[in-house]
Each structure stands twice: as structure tokens, then as C-alpha cells.
Amino acid sequence: MRKQQIAILGATGSIGRSTLDVLTRHPERYQVFALSGFSRLDELAKLCLKHRPRHAVVANEADAQSLRQTLREAGIACEVESGMQALQDMASQPAVDTVMASIVGAAGLLPTLAAVKAGKKVLLANKEALVMCGDLLMQTLSESGATLLPIDSEHNAIFQCLPPSPARNLAACGVRRILLTASGGPFLHLPIEQLAQVTPEQAICHPNWSMGRKISVDSASMMNKGLELIEACHLFAAKPSQVEVVIHPQSVVHSLVDYIDGSVLAQLGNPDMRTPIAQALAFPERIESGVAALDLLQIKRLDFYPPDSTRFPCLTLARHAIEAGGTAPALLNGANEVAVEAFLRGRIGFTAIATIIEQVLQHEPACAVKELETVLQADQRARLCAQKQIEGLP
């Protein structure tokens, strides 16, 4: 059997590492063709030494030279390149079968689009590609014949609970609504008046999942779930009114699909990203992921709550953005990335994240999206506006 050639965009992140863990369990099926990394050069070098990819991409030429020397001294034949164009070239490389798109933030947009345009099997872990230009990406997907499989545990769960190859119309599948589950993050029960004083260290301590700093903060504010709501609308051709968010602290039920006949299908599993990664890698087959079997007798109970809009204003802002359409989700995402970075650097408080995003959405008008450049311009406007709002804070 020919080995599938895999390119991992964002190999040093949590998704990238989990993907490599799954791949190493099936050396007869998969081969690592290319890896990319941004700031963790030492870690990327170790991954290249272990997995011996034919290509690697880093942020800049200085890092590329350093990595080349390290690999050359180790006797590893690997072509090392740098920059955004190199990332896009790697994602669309003819020899690549499957692309894991796991670069965090807007930086993952262009290489993800390149992989889709090239007709690859794309495992989508980057939220921002669909959030920023979902309509354009889905149109490109239709034109190129690429395969798009969601890696977020929630969207992967929905994918598993929908009929095979569903029509681009939920009603035609007999679906009444989609239920996105959310853990509620580390501040689910913290008194609301104390949220303004929480620290970045507290925000990144997720109770169930091991994630990067930015995504962990998004989970604490529930912007993560807001972005997933936007993604779900594009992935499953759903109206915003057909997607509901439910707080589920145990993170065992990853999402549910409610059918008009009264059936509700749910996908359950331990909170480990190797499950959706393995499901998407082998789809429509099933392979071993390394995840332990779910023990319902040990879990004993599953709780569900409605989200509190006062505690989680970012979720409301995201819903308003997808309802407005056009560049509104791109504005939302750009403002959030700047605000979260400012919080992680100690420049603003936790509750100021939502305030800054709301101010950006009020100051920057949304417009229709006809081309990629429109999205990129909206992203830059949002970032500049968010930065001005941060600088104006006392």
C-alpha cells in the first residue's frame, strides 16, 4: 500500500504534536513529507530529526539557515525554506496527499487556502480560515474538488453525527439544529465581579484540554466557541439560528445533532485531540489513535447548562458577527487576536478583551466579501483599530 504523504502546518503546536503521535502509530500507512514551525525552532529541529521530512518551513531566512545547519550536521536531507510563500508552496506541493492545517490565527489563512485550491485532503484545525472568509473558502473547495475534514472536536463530532455526504441543506437531511458543546473554561463558576482581575496564568489553565496560550484564553472568554459557531455555519451550511451552544463541563459529549424525528445523535469520547485527528486521517476508515476507551461508569454524570451572556459577552459578539455577515467575522477575529495578545502581555485586563472587540465592530463598518483582498484589508483595519483602543486605555 502506498504511504500517504502528510504535510503539517504548525507542527510544533499541540495539534501538530498530536498528529505526529497518531502518524507514528501507523508507519505503514503514513509518511511525514513536510513540517512547518514559527517560533519554536529547537522543537521543530527535534521533530525533523525524528520524523525526517523532505521539506521544512520556518518564519524567516535566519531561522532557515540555523535549521539547515542543524539538520546538515545530523545528516538529514531536508529542504528548508522560509516565509509565507514557502508555506503556501508546501501546502500545495504535488507530492502531498493530506495537509494538516493547524497554524493558529490569521497566519494560517493563506496556506490553508492554497491547500484547498490544490485539491488536497485538508484536515482543518485552523479556525480563522473559515471565520475570516468562509464563503470564499467553501466556494474554492467546491471548485477544486478538495476534501475538507474538520479537526475541532466539536465540528468533527457534528461531521460524524450527520449522514454521509449530506446535502448542503440541513433541512434536507432532517436536521433541526446543531448543538455545540463548550466546557465553560476555567472561569465558569468564578464570580463575575472577579473576572477583571484574573491573570493570564489563570486563563490558560484549561480544566480539560491541553492547548496553546491563545486558544486557551479564547476558551476562557468563550470566543473560541463563538468562532466555532461561525465555522459551523460555513461547514454545514447552517443558519446562525440553527446552531446553539450548550455548556458541558465534562467535555465528554463533543457535540450533538438534533433531528426532526426527535432523535439526537451525539459523539462522545475522552477529551483528547488524537481522536478527531485519527478519524479525519483515515476517513472513512477507523484507526487506532492512542486514546483510552471512555469509561462512563467512572464519569457517572454529564451536566449541561445554558451559556451566560453576561459572563461570556464574546459569544454574543461572535453570533452578531455571523448574523451581520460580510467582513464582520474577519473584523471580530482580527480584534480578538490583538486583544488576546495584549492580555497575555499584561497590557489589558481579561474583561477588556470583549470591550475592545465590541468597540472595533462599532468603529469599523462591515462590507460584502467578493475577493480575498477585501478580507485581508478588513483584518488589518480591525488590528489597527484594536491597537488604538488598547493605547487609549488608562
* 349-382 pLDDT tens trace: 999 999 999 999 999 999 999 899 999 999 999 9
**Does residue 194 share a domain with residue 61?**
no
Domain count for the chain:
2
pLDDT, residue 215, reads 87
Please report, for residues 23, 246, 264, the alpha-carbon distance to residue 28 in angstroms, rounded to integers and kept in the order given. Answer: 9, 40, 37
- Domain membership of residue 222 (yes or no) is yes
Q: Report whether pLDDT(167) > 60.
A: no
Is 225 in a helix, a strand, or coil? Answer: helix
* 250 contacts 302 by C-beta, under 8 angstroms: yes
Confidence (pTM): 0.93
**Does residue 140 share a domain with residue 25?**
yes
Identify the domain boundary among 324, 344, 362.
Answer: 324
Query: 152 phi and psi, to 5 degrees?
Result: -45, 135
More confident residue, 57 or 106: 57
Binding site for NADPH, residues?
Answer: 12-15, 126, 128, 212
- Express each pLDDT in 241-252 by its tens digit: 999 999 999 999
Binding site for Mn(2+), residues?
Answer: 152, 154, 228
Binding site, residues?
Answer: 12-15, 126-128, 152-154, 183, 206, 212, 219, 224-225, 228
Please report, for residues 111, 153, 165, 348, the alpha-carbon distance to residue 160 in angstroms, rounded to integers and kept in the order given. Answer: 26, 10, 11, 40
Cell numbers at 276, concatenated: 478527531
Cell numbers at 163, concatenated: 449522514
**Does residue 179 share a domain with residue 74?**
no
CATH of the domain at 118: 3.40.50.720
Q: Report whether pLDDT(116) > 80.
A: yes
Helices (H), 128-284: 128-144, 153-161, 200-203, 213-221, 223-235, 274-282
Cell numbers at 218, concatenated: 479564547
Q: Report whether pLDDT(96) > 90.
A: yes
Residues 238, 241, 245, CA angle at the centre, nearest 5°?
95
Please report, for residues 86, 152, 291, 296, 324, the alpha-carbon distance to residue 276 in angstroms, rounded to integers and kept in the order given. Answer: 28, 7, 10, 19, 31
**Does residue 94 share a domain with residue 26?**
yes
Handedness of CA 102, 104, 105, 106 (dihedral sign): negative
Residues 283, 284, 286, CA angle at the centre, nearest 5°?
75
Binding site for 1-deoxy-D-xylulose 5-phosphate, residues?
Answer: 127, 153-154, 183, 206, 219, 224-225, 228
* Residue 217 structural domain: 159-324
- Domain membership of residue 58 (yes or no) is yes
Mean predicted lDDT score pLDDT of the chain: 94
- Domain membership of residue 376 (yes or no) is no
* 312 contacts 302 by C-beta, under 8 angstroms: no
**Does residue 104 share a domain with residue 19?**
yes
- Domain membership of residue 366 (yes or no) is no
Instruction: Determine which of 9-13, 161-165, 236-240 has the lowest per-residue pLDDT on average.
Output: 161-165
Is 107 in a helix, a strand, or coil? Answer: helix
Q: Report whether pLDDT(165) > 80.
A: no
- Domain membership of residue 86 (yes or no) is yes
Handedness of CA 27, 31, 34, 36 (dihedral sign): negative
